[in-house]
Every structure is written in structure tokens, then in C-alpha cells.
Chain A
């Protein structure tokens, strides 16, 4: 019974390792694409959009697979939800400086 559990765990790890290799290949390909797009010298807004979209996708792959968020417990997501909320405030606060219509 114990041997069966061990072999199941080993098979599970083997499956995860195959996933890591797919993620590795995808990350390499996306890096090449990001650099390739940058040589097209798109207008700034388009360039920012493309670069950040690819970076967010790459970061998601690392978080989900290498950092095991795909199979993580609920408490970690609660911690991350708070962090993402505060992080968004931090990112969008600077935009308010451009909405100063009364020019203080």
C-alpha cells in the first residue's frame, strides 16, 4: 500500500517536471517575442501594452507552475488578494497626479 502511494507521488512529480519543461520553453519563446516586438519601435502606448501583457503572462506562468500556486491552499490566495489590492492602489495613485485640474 505504501509502495503504491510512493509510486503515485513519483508519477505526480514526473508529470509536474514535464509541465516545468513546457513552461520553460514558453518563457524562452515569449522573451524572444518581447525583444522582437521592441525592435519594431511601435508607438509608446502600444509598445507598453504589448510588453506588459507578455510580462504579465510570463509572471503568471512562473507563479502558477514554478511557485505552485496552481495547487496552493486558500490562505496563500487571501494573502495575495490583499497584496494585489494594495499594489493596484500604489500603481494607480500616480495617475491621480495627472488629473489635477485645479493646478495646485
Chain B
């Protein structure tokens, strides 16, 4: 593995980091700019609007709060999956990894309930600018949740084969990098929730 892409298991001497970790942070930097552009769009539209609905007028705040708690809990299970590998406990890694994916499903399930409720009430992305921003930003965020679940599911399912092949450190690094993405998705929601539901 180390021969194909250098420094994915051991840190480079000059940076003190694996190439994988530098790569994921650069990717997250681009993601910050992507979501930043949408937040800037929201600011422009809200500041320029004569009337802008309060999020709590259109949204189900208790459901949004529940989803926030679900995503925060999934961040904890994610970091516990990484810590379990550091403790050489593959079983707990698999348990926490599966819990993280399950919480991802729970988040998407709640989002599905919210979306269908909006559609039943005739609220669509084209209804007004607030709903356009709401559906675009939560939709993009949901897409990120799906991507994170795919990666976390893959690492959870294949963790044992890494372990059996003696690639413990490679697995730890990949789980840490997948975790960095998952926590970023959590941070985006930490801002989306008050902006779209509470203000």
C-alpha cells in the first residue's frame, strides 16, 4: 500500500503528517468555500428582502432540534470508533461505526419527514427565496451526509480485512480522515440549524 501512494501510513518527516490527512484538510478547505458561497448568498438575499419569513414560522423546530441532537451524537460515535481502534478494540470500532451510519439514516429519515410535510403544505423550492435557500442548503448538506455514510459504511464493513492483513495504522488513519469529513458535516449543520430554523 505504502508503495502506491507514499506516506499514507507513516507521517512525512518534513510535515509531520500523512499525505491523507493533508489531502482531507485541503478538501475540507474547498468545502468551507462551497458552503460559504451559499451562506453569502443567503445573507445577500435576506438583507435585500423587504419581507423574509422567520425560520420558526415555516419549520418544525422540535424535529430540527432532534436532528441536531442526532448529528451531534453521530459525531461522538464517529470519534469513539477511531478511539476504539487506537485501543485495539475492533469489535467496538465496528459497533460505533455501525451506530454512526445508523444515526446518518436517522438524520435522513427525519429530513424526509420534514420535506414531505413541506410538499404537502405546498412549500417548494420555487415558492419563495427563503424556501429556495432552505431546500438548496439542506439538500446539499444531505448529499454530504449520504457521502459520509457510504465511506463510514465501507470502512466499518472492511475494517476486519484491514486488521487481518496487518494494516492497523492504515485503517486508523482512514477512519480519522473519514471522521474529519463527518465532523465537518456536523459543523455545517450547527450553523444551518439556527440560520434556517431559528432566525
Residues of A at the B interface (CB closer than 8 Å) are: 9-10, 13, 16-17, 20-21, 24, 27-28, 31-32, 34-35, 38, 44, 47-48, 51-52, 54-55, 58-59, 62-63, 65-68, 73, 75-76, 79-80, 82-83, 86-87, 90-91, 93-95, 97-98
CB-nearest residue of chain B to A87: B36
For B63-91 the 0/1 string (1 means CB < 8 A from A) is 00100110011011011100100110000
Q: Check A38 against B72 for contact (C-beta < 8 Å).
A: no
Question: Which DSSP category, helix, strand, loop or mixed, fits chain B's interface?
Answer: helix
Q: Check B25 against A79 for contact (C-beta < 8 Å).
A: yes
B78 partner residues in chain A, CB cutoff 8 A: 66
Contact residue among B26, B83, B198 (Cβ-Cβ distance under 8 Å from A35): B198
Distance of A62 Cα from B21 Cα, bound (Å): 17
CB-nearest residue of chain A to B30: A83
Contact residue among B29, B183, B187 (Cβ-Cβ distance under 8 Å from A80): B29
Counting chain B CB atoms within 10 Å of each CB, the highest count among A38, A67, A94 belongs to A67
Q: Check B29 against A82 for contact (C-beta < 8 Å).
A: yes
Q: Known contacts A9-B86, A35-B65, A62-B75: does B199 contact A83 (CB below 8 Å)? A: no
Question: Please, how many residues of chain B have a CB less than 8 angstroms from a CB on the other chain?
Answer: 48
Q: Check A94 against B191 for contact (C-beta < 8 Å).
A: no
Segment among B43-51, B122-130, B138-146, B162-170 that sits at the interface with chain A: B43-51
Contact residue among A9, A48, A90 (Cβ-Cβ distance under 8 Å from B199): A48
Contact residue among B72, B180, B191 (Cβ-Cβ distance under 8 Å from A24): B72
Q: Check A67 against B183 for contact (C-beta < 8 Å).
A: yes
Q: Check A94 against B44 for contact (C-beta < 8 Å).
A: yes
A74 CB to closest chain B CB (Å) equals: 8
Q: A17-B80, A47-B199 are in contact. List 5 more A-B contacts (CB 8 A).
A: A20-B79, A20-B83, A38-B194, A65-B79, A67-B183
CB-nearest residue of chain A to B79: A66
